[in-house]
């Protein structure tokens, strides 16, 4: 069996498990919807959102934050698999460890797609406008996939490296919330004090949000900034993925 085949086997298992309980995923959407409705309704930033409503402005930010929380939480599934011995059985099966990481990252993409789909439908029902055509949606899907592969790999590496579940949840908390605030998710970079802008400009969330915001919110096709955003996101995810593969290869060494 080749690596792609192995990857799909690992992915299929998780997708099947998700299909047995789809409603659990949808409950996760309550929180981001509250963000949009409550936070988005109160905050007004005239002149800072370049002519769109604030809810429209924050939509990509909340979208990326939602998939980040789901993707990084993939580590908890892995921790559970390690505790009950499923991971050991996968590690001694005749498959590459790269396939295990890739398969799990891919299943994380599947999970987040389901959320993104429902999220956008709900946003549309709530009257939050965004550009909705095949290209825009495919582009958004691609950015989400690249970003989620990186973040879920990060979650998996943390799950392997941190011994206890408590340590893992602690570190994930340290990643998830600050990455929302220290990014362009809720406000544009030029509203920030210099120190925060510096942090935000090295935060990969900023690039994923920026690319989706340009296309989905503004319908802009300015090539240079979009390609820069994409390049940063790809490099970030590839680097994390590579590190996670190394972490997996070292298990038991």
Partner 1 sequence: MVHAIETQGLTKIYGNKVAVADSNLHVDDREIFGLLGPNGAGKTTTAKMLATLLRPTSGRAWVGGFDIVKERGKIRKIMGYLPQQLTSDDTLTGYENLLFYAKLYGLSRELREKRIGEALGLVGLRDSSRQMVGTYSGGMKRRLELASVLVSRPRILFLDEPTLGLDPRSRRLVWDFLKDLRDSFETTIFLTTNYMDEADKLCDRVAIIDLGKIVVDGPPARLKESVGGDVIALKMNGTQTNAQEALKSHPYVKHVEFANDSARLIIEGKSGENTIPLVLADLRAKGVEVVSVTLHKPSLDDVFTRYTGKRFVREVAMGGPRRMKQRARMLRAVRQ
Using CB under 8 A, which of 55, 65, 79, 213 touches partner 1? 79
Contact set for partner 1, span 59-78 (CB under 8 A)? 76-77
Q: Are 74 and 150 in contact (CB under 8 A)?
A: no
Contact set for partner 1, span 24-53 (CB under 8 A)? 24
Using CB under 8 A, which of 42, 47, 51, 92 touches partner 1? 92
Closest CA to 69 of 146, 157, 152: 152
Q: Is 83 in the site for partner 1 (CB under 8 A)?
A: yes
Question: From CA 237, how far away is CA 227, in angstroms rounded?
Answer: 15
CB of 172 vs partner 1, minimal distance in Å:
12
Q: Where are the alpha helices (DSSP H) in 52-164?
A: 54-72, 74-84, 86-91, 97-125, 134-161
Q: Are 130 and 120 in contact (CB under 8 A)?
A: yes
CB of 109 vs partner 1, minimal distance in Å:
18
Using CB under 8 A, which of 37, 53, 162, 165 touches partner 1? 165
Phi, psi of 202 (to 5 degrees): -105, 5
Using CA atoms, how far residue 142 sits from 11, 110, 137, 212, 215, in Å, is: 18, 12, 9, 10, 12
R_g of the chain, CA atoms, integer Å: 18
CB of 162 vs partner 1, minimal distance in Å:
15
Q: Is 89 in the site for partner 1 (CB under 8 A)?
A: yes
Environment class of 248 (CB within 10 Å of its CB; exposed 0-12, middle 13-18, buried 19+): buried
User: Which of 25, 197 has the CB closer to partner 1?
Assistant: 25
Question: From CA 85, how far away is CA 78, in angstroms rounded?
Answer: 10
Using CB under 8 A, which of 22, 46, 85, 127 touches partner 1? 85
User: Which of 48, 246 has the CB closer to partner 1?
Assistant: 246
Q: Are 117 and 185 in contact (CB under 8 A)?
A: no
CB of 70 vs partner 1, minimal distance in Å:
12
Question: From CA 231, how far away is CA 219, in angstroms rounded?
Answer: 20
Using CB under 8 A, which of 3, 50, 80, 132 touches partner 1? 80
CB of 159 vs partner 1, minimal distance in Å:
12
Q: Is 164 in the site for partner 1 (CB under 8 A)?
A: no
Using CB under 8 A, which of 22, 51, 193, 252 touches partner 1? 252
Which positions lie near partner 1, rule CB under 8 A? 1, 5-6, 9, 12-13, 16-17, 20-21, 24, 76-77, 79-80, 83-86, 88-95, 165, 252-253
């Amino acid at each position: 069996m080749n690596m792609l085949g192995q990857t799909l086997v690992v992915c299929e298992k998780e997708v099947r498990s998700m299909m047995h309980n789809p409603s659990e995923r949808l409950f996760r959407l309550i929180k981001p919807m509250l963000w949009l409705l409550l936070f988005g309704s109160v905050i007004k930033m005239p002149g800072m959102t370049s002519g769109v409503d604030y809810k429209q402005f924050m939509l990509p930010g909340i979208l990326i934050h939602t998939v980040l929380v789901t993707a990084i939480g993939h580590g908890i599934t892995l921790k559970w698999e390690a505790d009950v011995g499923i991971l050991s059985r996968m590690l001694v099966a005749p498959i590459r460890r790269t396939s295990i990481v890739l398969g799990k990252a891919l299943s994380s993409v599947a999970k987040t797609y389901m959320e993104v789909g429902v999220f956008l439908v709900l946003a549309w029902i709530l009257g939050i406008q965004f550009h909705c055509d095949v290209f825009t949606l495919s582009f958004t899907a691609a950015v989400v996939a690249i970003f989620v592969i990186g973040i879920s790999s990060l979650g998996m590496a943390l799950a392997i490296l941190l011994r206890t579940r408590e340590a893992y949840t602690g570190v994930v908390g340290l990643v998830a919330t600050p990455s929302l605030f220290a990014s362009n998710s809720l406000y544009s970079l030029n509203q920030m004090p210099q120190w925060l802008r510096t942090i935000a400009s090295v935060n990969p969330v900023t690039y994923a949000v920026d690319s989706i915001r340009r296309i989905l919110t503004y319908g802009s096709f300015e090539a240079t900034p979009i390609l820069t955003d994409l390049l940063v996101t790809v490099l970030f995810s590839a680097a994390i993925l590579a590190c996670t593969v190394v972490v997996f290869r070292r298990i038991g060494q």
